[in-house]
Amino acid sequence: MLRLFLSVSFLLGAIIAASDVTGPLTADFQSWLSINGYSSYDFVRSDYGTQGSYGGKTAQITSIVNTPVVFIHGNSDAALHHTATATGWSNSIQYFLDHGYTSAELYATSWQDTNALNAAKRTHDCKDLLRLRQFLKAVLDYTGSPKISVVSHSMGVTLARKIIKGGSVSASDGKCDLGLPLNKKVDVLIGISGANYGLCNCEGGSATLEKTCNKDNGLWPGDSCGLNILDCGLTPLPWPCSAVNYSAYLMQLNSDRNKEADHVYSLWSLADELIEYGNMVWGRSTSFIPTSDGKVVYAIYTHMQTKELTYEDQYQLVKNKTLPSGSV
C-alpha cells in the first residue's frame, strides 16, 4: 500500500523554509580543493554569495562520524536557498544539522544558474556531469570516508545516477568518459521526483523545440508505445504497451541494472505539477529508479515540496535505511 501523505505539514515546512543555513564551502575545504587540483571546477560558486555551496571541516569540527551526504539539486535550483524559486537544500541540511550531523558531513554545490527562463535549454551535458563527478570524488577524498550518500532532486536524479555509474556520455557539448563506477562507494542514493523515463511534456514536437527534451541526452519519453501514440500520460493506456524507445541517455541509464548504491530509494508526488499525469510515462512511474529498494509516494506535494518538505524522510532513509511507516 502506497504511503499517501496529507500536506498538514505544509505550514511547518513553510516556516522551516526560512532556515538561515549559509555557506559557502569552509575555508578548510577550499584550501584542500586548491592544493589538490580542484580549483578550476569552482565548487564554491561565490557568484551566489553564501548560498552557492555548503560543507567542510572547521577549526571546531574536524572529525567525520556520520557517512557524508552530498545533495544534488535540479534544473534552475541552487545548493542553498537563493531565491523564492531556487530554495536549494537549506531545509534538509538544517534538519540533518539538528539531528547530529555537522558541516563536515554535509555537502552541496550549485550547477548552472537559477534562471527559470534557461530551464528548457539544460541537458545532461559533459560539462555538468564531469564537474559533479569531480565533486563526489573530492568529498570522498577530503573526508577520507569509505562511502558517501547522495540525495538528489528532479534533473539532479538523472545527473546523480550517471556520475555514480560512470562510463561514456554522448552529449550536446561533445563526448566524454566519466570513468569507472563509484557505486561501491555510495551507501544510499535517494532520487526525488526524477524523470528516469522522461517527461510526457517532452513528447512530440517538444523534442526538437526544447533542448531539455531532446532525444539524445534529454528527457524525451518516446512518441509511441505499440498502438499508443503521443499519449504517454494516459492511465490506463488504450492499447498494450511495450518496447518504448526514449532518450538515448535515459535508456543507457536504465539498461544498466547495477545498483547505484547499497540502498536506493525513489520518492515522488502524485500531484507533481511539473511531471504531471500522476507521475506516469507509458504506464510506469517515471520517478521510480529501476534499481530501487523501496519508494515513498506523496499525495499532494508540488514538485519543489517533494524536496523542501521531505527532510525527515530523507534523514530516515540516509541514517537508518528504513522506509517511513506505510510506504513500500
CATH number at residue 303: 3.40.50.1820
- Please report the pLDDT score of residue 326 as a whole number: 65
For residue 100, tell me if it sits in a domain. Answer: yes
For residue 328, tell me if it sits in a domain. Answer: no
Tell whether the model's pLDDT for residue 95 goes beyond 50: yes
Check the CA dihedral 270-96-294-250 and report its sign: positive
The reported pTM is 0.93
For residue 118, tell me if it sits in a domain. Answer: yes
Mean pLDDT of 264-288: 97
For residue 254, tell me if it sits in a domain. Answer: yes
Would you tell me the crossing angle of helices 248-255 and 155-165 to the nearest 10 degrees?
60
Ramachandran angles phi, psi of 112, nearest 5°: 55, -145
For residue 299, tell me if it sits in a domain. Answer: yes
How many angstroms separate the CA atoms of 110 and 132, rounded? 9
**What total number of domains does the chain contain?**
1
Burial (CB < 10 A; 0-12, 13-18, 19+), residue 175, is exposed
For the chain, what is the mean pLDDT? 92
Amino acid letter, residue 70 = V
End-to-end Cα, the chain, rounded Å:
7
For residue 326, tell me if it sits in a domain. Answer: no
**What domain range includes position 226?**
7-320
Tell whether the model's pLDDT for residue 76 goes beyond 70: yes
How many angstroms separate the CA atoms of 126 and 142, rounded? 24
Tell whether the model's pLDDT for residue 194 goes beyond 90: yes
- Please report the pLDDT score of residue 19 as a whole number: 59
Tell whether the model's pLDDT for residue 32 goes beyond 90: yes
Could you tell me what percent of the chain has a pLDDT over 90? Answer: 88
User: C-alpha grid cell for residue 280?
Assistant: 506516469
Tell whether the model's pLDDT for residue 16 goes beyond 60: no
The DSSP H or E segment spanning 151 is strand 148-153
Q: What is the pLDDT of residues 108-128, one digit of tens each?
A: 999 999 999 999 999 999 999
Judge whether 92 and 311 are in contact, CB under 8 Å. yes
Q: What is the pLDDT of residues 127-155, one digit of tens each?
A: 999 999 999 999 999 999 999 999 999 99
- Please report the pLDDT score of residue 12 as a whole number: 36
Q: What is the pLDDT of residues 161-187, one digit of tens each?
A: 999 999 999 888 889 999 999 999 999
Could you tell me what percent of the chain has a pLDDT over 70? Answer: 93
pLDDT category, 6, cuts 50, 70, 90?
very low
Check the CA dihedral 123-126-129-132 and report its sign: negative
Q: What is the pLDDT of residues 253-274, one digit of tens each?
A: 999 999 999 999 999 999 999 9
Q: What is the pLDDT of residues 221-246, one digit of tens each?
A: 999 999 999 999 999 999 999 889 99
- Please report the pLDDT score of residue 172 as a whole number: 83
Tell whether the model's pLDDT for residue 3 goes beyond 70: no
- Please report the pLDDT score of residue 26 as a whole number: 98
For residue 1, tell me if it sits in a domain. Answer: no
Report which of 203, 236, 219, 215 is spatially closest to residue 286, judged by C-alpha positions.
Answer: 219
What region does 283 belong to: left with phi over 0, alpha with psi -120 to 50, or beta? left
Of the two residues 36 and 11, the one the predictor is more confident about is 36
Tell whether the model's pLDDT for residue 5 goes beyond 60: no
For residue 31, tell me if it sits in a domain. Answer: yes
How many angstroms separate the CA atoms of 51 and 89, rounded? 10
Beta bridge partners of 87: none
Tell whether the model's pLDDT for residue 8 goes beyond 70: no
User: C-alpha grid cell for residue 319?
Assistant: 541514517
